[in-house]
Amino acid sequence: MKPIASVAALLLLACPGLPQAQGFPSKPLHLIVPSVAGSSPDVRARQIAAKLGESFGQPVIVDNRPGGNGLIGAQQAVKAAPDGYTMFLALINNAIADAANPNPCCRLNRELVPVTRFTMTPLVAVVHPSLPASTLKEFIALAKAKPDALTYASGGPGSITQLLGEWIKSESGIRVLEVPYKSVGAEMPDLLSGQVTAGFLVPNTVGGPIKAGRLRALAVAGPQRLAILPDVPTTAEAGLPGVEAIAWNGVFVPAGTPPPVIQVLHRGLVRAFDAPDVREQVANTGSYIAGDSPEEFAAFVRAEVGKWSKVIRDAGIRVE
């Protein structure tokens, strides 16, 4: 029995978090969401929280902490004990904040470490149908012919919609005026009435108006076409290769959480993602599920921060 005992002792020394993982979870878990109840991230969080609770045999409580463009929720998560019982559903906003104005309290891949990525939702470039432009190339040509005459809606400084708008301007050499709104989606009434020319929104928001002819889709800012908008080309197909803006979310935990505990969370979350009703609901909204490993998610976040840092720098964007 001595050799077996020795091997067990070596395993415990090599993986100090193993005893915690073996009994994990033994009490309720919390999932902090940096947006209000009823928002798209909140709906996603509650869907997987229920599945995760069933899998673990422990309730997963969704804790809404909106504000600060994701910073308030991140700060709350960082303060939690690094034991796996507190998770944070980070959004693209958190990565953009790390690119524009990183706060040393709660950076992704630093003070918060990845578990797995959940959904990916490419933005859709749309215009009011009164505009004489049926493609992205025609929109760019019109903007070049009429500098500062066209407008695009954004969610304000540092929003993904502003960054995409400025990126398109920078890449194509056009001058289009930004019209900032208090939040992403608040521009819909003005887009539908034609008071603002163009916008960049998630497929679930614009899918209905596009099909009803109230908005015209020019491009999907992702690597592939969407099943719910099969006739809309990607930005690469439309003439702007490499210009992609995807609203994503994923689960992080405080730095110092034992790797074996992270692996338990990862397995539970991926099982939740794979539930048929979850996959169907996600696909129906024009999104898709990643479900990658912690290492793959970390690499993805590094790439996102690098990409948006370059966009901010090249376009001369100032984020307070």
pLDDT at res. 316: 85
pLDDT at res. 1: 42
Q: What percent of the chain has pLDDT over 90?
A: 85
Distance, CA of 304 to CA of 302 (rounded, Å) = 5
Distance, CA of 114 to CA of 293 (rounded, Å) = 9
**pLDDT greater than 90 at residue 319:** no
Token code pair at residue 37: 């109840």
Helices (H), 15-113: 18-22, 40-56, 71-79, 92-100
Distance, CA of 267 to CA of 251 (rounded, Å) = 12
CATH fold group of domain 124-220: D-Maltodextrin-Binding Protein; domain 2 (3.40.190)
Residue type at 129 in one-letter notation: P
- Domain residue extents for the chain: 26-121+247-315, 124-220
pLDDT at res. 8: 46
The CA angle 85-86-89, to the nearest 5 degrees, is 135
Distance, CA of 140 to CA of 247 (rounded, Å) = 24
Q: Averaged over 240-246, what is the pLDDT?
A: 97
Q: Averaged over 234-249, what is the pLDDT?
A: 97
A 10 A CB-CB count for 52 gives 23
Q: How confident is the model at residue 3 (pLDDT cuts 50, 70, 90)?
A: low
Instruction: Write out the DSSP string of 149-208.
Output: T-EEEESSTT-HHHHHHHHHHHHHT---EEEE-SSTTTTHHHHHHTSS-EEEE-HHHHHH
Q: Averaged over 162-191, what is the pLDDT?
A: 93
SS3 assignment, position 133: coil
Distance, CA of 139 to CA of 149 (rounded, Å) = 12
pLDDT at res. 114: 98
pLDDT at res. 237: 98
Distance, CA of 303 to CA of 213 (rounded, Å) = 36
Distance, CA of 94 to CA of 71 (rounded, Å) = 7
Encode pLDDT of 9-36 as tens digits. Answer: 454 555 555 556 778 999 999 999 999 9
Whether domain 26-121+247-315 has CATH 1.10.8.100: no
Distance, CA of 218 to CA of 134 (rounded, Å) = 7
Q: Which residue in the block uniquely carries the two structure tokens 């695009």?
A: 152
Token code pair at residue 110: 């630093």
Residue type at 289 in one-letter notation: I
Distance, CA of 155 to CA of 232 (rounded, Å) = 23
Helices (H) and strands (E) in the chain, counts: 12, 11
Distance, CA of 120 to CA of 217 (rounded, Å) = 19
Residue 196 CA to chain centroid, in angstroms? 25
Distance, CA of 35 to CA of 91 (rounded, Å) = 9
